[in-house]
């Protein structure tokens, strides 16, 4: 298999909170712990998990908005930590972000046309007519008419603003777009339109997506693979179809059970996920899910489960459902990605 577009190796981010009176007592938020995954060109990897599990921190680490405590991020095999100014700028062109709340990320004083052409203008000065035709082209790509280029963000609907945020991300023809809760603030029908738009853009332009969401039900149709996170760690990473057909990790199972079921013929699993997410400042010992897990055994309190590759191409970290005795002689990478063919996502209706 070809070199992945993006490779994340053992990424860890701890935030120290304040200075504390004694050095030893400085509390640390373990936002991301030892996370590894990769993304192929043109692929959609979804990252899901409850609020506070570290999803946005991963997005910020990938964009180099924050620096990792340890671990590496490689783009086409190059570690982004070592990039100097010019290379960093070139790499920034290739990775763009779409945010949850387009309103706060769009300059309210600029017109839609100015907002979406600004990224290109920053790299190469455009003439007035180039700017106009680029704006019309980008608006067309996200299903908006060219007349919209004269509108201010306040004169657009929530869905149109999110389309605008996507158009701005497309302006520099990125290889990868990170969408962090990009549809979470939208009505369900508008969510479906935006998800369909993202899938169409992927097919037309071959863009890879990292789609971050707390809501498993929105990732079911758009993801090729899904990484499920719990308190900073990936607990299951699987081809999307396999994950929804048969979740293996008890937490994945509970999330799927809790998600609304758009397809009434699908049998709903009856595994409740009870209790609050524990604090990442003082996470539970061993498997961090053990206080909420109906299957927990003694070992779960004592040892952090490793990600173990399963026969169908997924990796799972669970002492009961994926015992470490399954680990082959070769140490596993954090994911085993070449086994399952990537299923084509289906459009929302
Ligand atoms: N700058 C920061 N300083 C301290 N803690 C932070 C900071 N950013 C995020 N966190 C904490 O890290 C954890 C993960 O946050 P985040 O990545 O935003 O989660 P998610 O996007 O999954 O909701 C949370 O407990 C959050 O409070
Ligand atoms: S390792 Fe133990 S506590 Fe963690 S998910 Fe598996 S059974 Fe539950
Ligand atoms: Mg977040």
Distance 260 CA to ligand 1 centre (A): 26
Q: Which residue do the tokens 């990796």 mark?
A: 315
Distance CA 180, CA 98 (A): 6
Strand, helix or coil at 271?
coil
Residue entry with tokens 């927990």: 296
User: What is the DSSP annotation of 160-171?
Assistant: HHHHHHHHHHHT
Q: Does the beta carbon of 146 sit less than 6 angstroms from any atom of ligand 2? A: no
Please tell me the residue having the least CA distance from ligand 2 atom 6.
Answer: 318
Atom index in ligand 2 nearest the CA of residue 251 equals: 5
Say what the pLDDT of residue 271 is: 47
Strands (E) across the chain are located at 6-16, 28-39, 44-48, 70-75, 78-79, 95-98, 176-180, 208-213, 225-230, 233-239, 308-309, 315-316
Q: Which pTM was predicted?
A: 0.89
| Centre of ligand 3 from the C-alpha of residue 271, in Å | 25
Q: Is the pLDDT of residue 164 over 80?
A: yes
Q: How far apart are the first and last CA of the chain?
A: 34
Q: Which two tokens stand for residue 122?
A: 């920053």
* Ligand 1 proximal residues by C-beta, below 6 Å: 15, 17, 29, 31, 49, 51-57, 280
Q: How far, in Å, CA of 177 to CA of 198, rounded? A: 10
pLDDT at 163 exceeding the cut of 90:
yes
From the candidate CATH numbers 3.40.50.960, 3.60.15.10, 3.40.50.150, 3.40.50.300, the one assigned to the domain spanning 6-100+181-326: 3.40.50.300
pLDDT of residue 283 exceeding 50: yes
Tell which residue, 263, 200, 252, 190, has the closest CA to residue 225.
Answer: 252
Domain map of the chain by residue range?
6-100+181-326, 103-174
pLDDT at 91 over 50: yes
Encode pLDDT of 24-65 as tens digits.
677 899 999 999 999 999 999 999 999 999 999 999 999 999
Question: Ligand 2 mean position to 319 CA, how many Å?
Answer: 6
CA distances from 57 to 22, 142, 247, 263 (A): 27, 27, 25, 32
List phi, psi (to 5°) of 87: -65, -35
- Find tokens 């498997």 and name the residue: 287
Would you say the CB of residue 287 lies under 6 angstroms from ligand 2?
Answer: yes
Query: Hey, how many other C-beta atoms are within 10 angstroms of the C-beta on 83?
Result: 16
Cα(244)–Cα(237) distance, rounded to whole angstroms?
A: 12
Between the CA of 90 and the centroid of ligand 3 the distance, in Å, is 26
Predicted confidence band at 258 (pLDDT cuts at 50, 70, 90)?
confident
Q: Are 24 and 87 in contact (CB under 8 A)?
A: no
CA atoms within 13 A on the CB side of 141: 23
């Amino acid at each position: 298999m070809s070199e992945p577009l993006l490779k994340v190796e053992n990424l860890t981010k701890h935030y120290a909170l304040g200075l504390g009176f004694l050095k030893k007592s400085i509390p640390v938020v373990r936002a991301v712990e030892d996370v590894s995954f990769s993304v192929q060109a043109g692929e959609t990897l979804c990252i899901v998990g409850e609020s506070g599990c570290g999803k946005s921190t991963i997005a910020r680490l990938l964009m180099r908005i924050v620096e990792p405590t340890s671990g590496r991020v490689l783009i086409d095999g190059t570690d982004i930590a070592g990039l100097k100014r010019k290379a960093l700028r070139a790499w920034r062109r290739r990775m763009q972000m779409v945010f949850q709340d387009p309103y706060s990320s769009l300059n309210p004083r600029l017109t839609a046309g100015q907002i979406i052409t600004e990224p290109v203008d920053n790299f190469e000065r455009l003439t007035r007519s180039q700017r106009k035709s680029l704006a019309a082209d980008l608006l067309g790509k996200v299903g908006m008419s060219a007349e919209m280029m004269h509108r201010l963000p306040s004169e657009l609907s929530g869905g149109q603003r999110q389309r605008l945020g996507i158009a701005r991300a497309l302006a520099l023809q990125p290889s990868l777009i990170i969408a962090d809760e990009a549809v979470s603030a939208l009505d369900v029908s508008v969510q479906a339109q935006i998800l369909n738009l993202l899938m169409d853009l992927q097919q037309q332009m071959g863009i890879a997506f990292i789609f971050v969401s707390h809501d498993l039900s929105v990732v079911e149709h758009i993801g090729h693979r899904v990484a499920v996170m719990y308190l900073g760690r990936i607990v299951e990473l699987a081809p999307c179809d396999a994950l929804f057909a048969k979740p293996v990790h008890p937490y994945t199972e509970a999330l799927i059970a809790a998600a609304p079921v758009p397809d009434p013929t699908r049998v709903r699993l009856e595994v409740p996920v009870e209790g609050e997410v524990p604090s990442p400042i003082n996470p539970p010992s061993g498997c961090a899910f053990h206080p909420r897990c109906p299957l927990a055994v003694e070992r779960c309190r004592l040892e952090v489960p490793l990600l173990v590759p399963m026969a169908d191409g997924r990796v799972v970290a669970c002492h009961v459902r994926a015992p470490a005795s399954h680990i082959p002689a070769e140490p596993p990478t954090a994911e085993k990605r070449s086994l399952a063919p990537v299923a084509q996502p289906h459009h929302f209706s």
